[in-house]
Chains A and B, each alone.
Chain A
């Protein structure tokens, strides 16, 4: 299935955990520092340099190369989303983002915010940075480059970015939670195999 940003609440709500999607349209990168600065500005009532309504935010610190006067994307795999656990619920609520792309899933407060405000978590294969970069057709710009290359807010144009697995849907379901439950069920057997059961 192909989806395109800006995403509507309706499209986002139609997705279910385990669905595979490919994404088109503008995607913003944002890691720890972007989250902190944006929320800080929000608290102070300042306006962000980009409009995140209906946007997809990508937990990614890319490798960029400057060619003449424009930026070329070299590699753009995801970073561990859990680092943004404490910031994402406010980010979803405050800016109206509809998709978070990353790896490893996020904790309960984010799952709750996603179902409350209509947002999904899309898991992209960790480390598969070359394929991810091939799903980006253009670097549209950059803000906050003072945060350093990995932490800056890069504005990317996605073209068939994926495969992305719906890891958390807008109905409170999480594939990661399901796997965790499965792992707890399997663990006693694994321990018994090691003779430490």
Chain B
């Protein structure tokens, strides 16, 4: 078994890394966008973002004041007893990093001040190899999360319906999710599965191709169309509305075609740790691909 204290320590470490360091795939797409933007205001926005990220890294403080809600993805063969350690890690990171206490009761809006609550932190488990556990944290800010959308399409609407829904969602979100964004899309499953797929799709780095050729092509096509809209960085106009589109899918009922969109702001923060049974830990901001 992996010692709970080690898990707690690792959770603090990955939360700190996630909120202070932007994964290199995101940074390099932002740099490309900075070079390609011809509009003065658009370029200023991206330079400001890059400068902000650099300073945040230098002085080890959160790059954005919205340090999100603590969403975890855990996979491995021995994952019992991890949840309590994750909770303790979140409480400590809130104090030590620090993180903004964002978690409130959905109705009374009461804030416990430590980012804990019912089902928070939220942990997604999936089975994995027996000899290690992977823990990934994705602190998800509200500006982009609030733009999430689900549509239960009629199967006959098919791929055209999917494209149309994704484009419309990005356009109606406009400046609110802090563009340039990364667009997570989940196709198939059921309503809840599609939403989960859309979020998990965001875990794949921008430089890792989709394993399904048809989805890879769809990602590229959608990205080009989204960047043609001219929403631009911060919605102030320009070429860079999104840095990438990431699509995951699941088989679904013969009578349904769910499609979900989960937008991720430029502050696409995540960090992972792989904890081996012997106590060794390796860290990565891009995850293990």
Q: Across the interface, do B61 and A126 meet the contact criterion of CB distance under 8 Å?
A: no
Asked if B78 is at the interface of the complex by the 8 Å CB criterion, the answer is: no
A residues 114-171 with Cβ under 8 Å of B? 123, 125-131, 133-134, 148-150, 163, 165, 167
Q: Across the interface, do B61 and A75 meet the contact criterion of CB distance under 8 Å?
A: yes
Of the residues A18, A129, A187, A191, contact of B41 by C-beta under 8 Å: A18
What CA separation (Å) do A176 and B222 show in the bound complex? 23
Of the residues B146, B167, B236, B266, contact of A191 by C-beta under 8 Å: B167
Q: How far is the CB of A1 from chain B (nearest CB, A)?
A: 14
Against B, the Cβ 8 Å flags (1 = close, 0 = not) of A1-35 are 00000000000000000101000000000000000
Asked if B14 is at the interface of the complex by the 8 Å CB criterion, the answer is: no
Interface size on A, residues (CB 8 A): 49
Asked if A194 is at the interface of the complex by the 8 Å CB criterion, the answer is: yes
Asked if B265 is at the interface of the complex by the 8 Å CB criterion, the answer is: yes
What CA separation (Å) do A107 and B48 show in the bound complex? 25
Against B, the Cβ 8 Å flags (1 = close, 0 = not) of A74-109 are 111101101000000000000000000001110000
- Return chain A residues, CB-CB under 8 Å to B174: 104, 176, 180, 183
Q: Across the interface, do B52 and A130 meet the contact criterion of CB distance under 8 Å?
A: yes
- Return chain A residues, CB-CB under 8 Å to B44: 20, 125, 163, 165
Q: Across the interface, do A193 and B49 meet the contact criterion of CB distance under 8 Å?
A: no
What CA separation (Å) do A151 and B283 show in the bound complex? 34
Of the residues B64, B237, B265, contact of A178 by C-beta under 8 Å: B237
Q: Across the interface, do B65 and A65 meet the contact criterion of CB distance under 8 Å?
A: no
Report the nearest B residue to A61, measured CB to CB. B65
- Return chain A residues, CB-CB under 8 Å to B66: 61, 77, 79, 127, 129
Asked if B151 is at the interface of the complex by the 8 Å CB criterion, the answer is: no
Of the residues B102, B163, B171, B235, contact of A104 by C-beta under 8 Å: B235
B residues 192-251 with Cβ under 8 Å of A? 221-222, 224-226, 228-232, 234-237
User: Number of residue pairs across A and B with beta carbons under 8 Å?
Assistant: 161
Interface size on B, residues (CB 8 A): 52
A residues 173-191 with Cβ under 8 Å of B? 175-176, 178-180, 182-183, 186-187, 189-191
Against A, the Cβ 8 Å flags (1 = close, 0 = not) of B48-67 are 11011001100101111111
Q: Across the interface, do A179 and B232 meet the contact criterion of CB distance under 8 Å?
A: yes
What CA separation (Å) do A196 and B225 show in the bound complex? 11
Q: Across the interface, do B178 and A129 meet the contact criterion of CB distance under 8 Å?
A: no
What CA separation (Å) do A125 and B30 show in the bound complex? 14
Asked if B267 is at the interface of the complex by the 8 Å CB criterion, the answer is: yes
- Return chain B residues, CB-CB under 8 Å to A125: 44-45, 48-49, 52, 234
Report the nearest B residue to A191, measured CB to CB. B167
Report the nearest B residue to A18, measured CB to CB. B41
Q: Across the interface, do A183 and B100 meet the contact criterion of CB distance under 8 Å?
A: no
Q: How far is the CB of A121 from chain B (nearest CB, A)?
A: 12
Asked if B176 is at the interface of the complex by the 8 Å CB criterion, the answer is: yes
Asked if B28 is at the interface of the complex by the 8 Å CB criterion, the answer is: no
Of the residues B221, B235, B237, contact of A193 by C-beta under 8 Å: B221
- Return chain A residues, CB-CB under 8 Å to B101: 148-149
Asked if B76 is at the interface of the complex by the 8 Å CB criterion, the answer is: no
- Return chain A residues, CB-CB under 8 Å to B4: none
The 27 sampled A-B contact pairs (Cβ below 8 Å) are A61-B65, A63-B62, A63-B65, A63-B67, A63-B99, A65-B98, A75-B62, A75-B64, A75-B65, A80-B146, A104-B176, A126-B175, A126-B178, A127-B64, A129-B62, A129-B66, A130-B55, A130-B62, A148-B111, A150-B102, A165-B236, A175-B236, A178-B237, A183-B231, A189-B228, A191-B164, A196-B163
Interface residues of B (CB under 8 A from A): 41, 44-45, 48-49, 51-52, 55-56, 59, 61-67, 98-102, 111, 141, 143, 146, 160, 163-164, 167, 171, 174-176, 178, 221-222, 224-226, 228-232, 234-237, 265-267
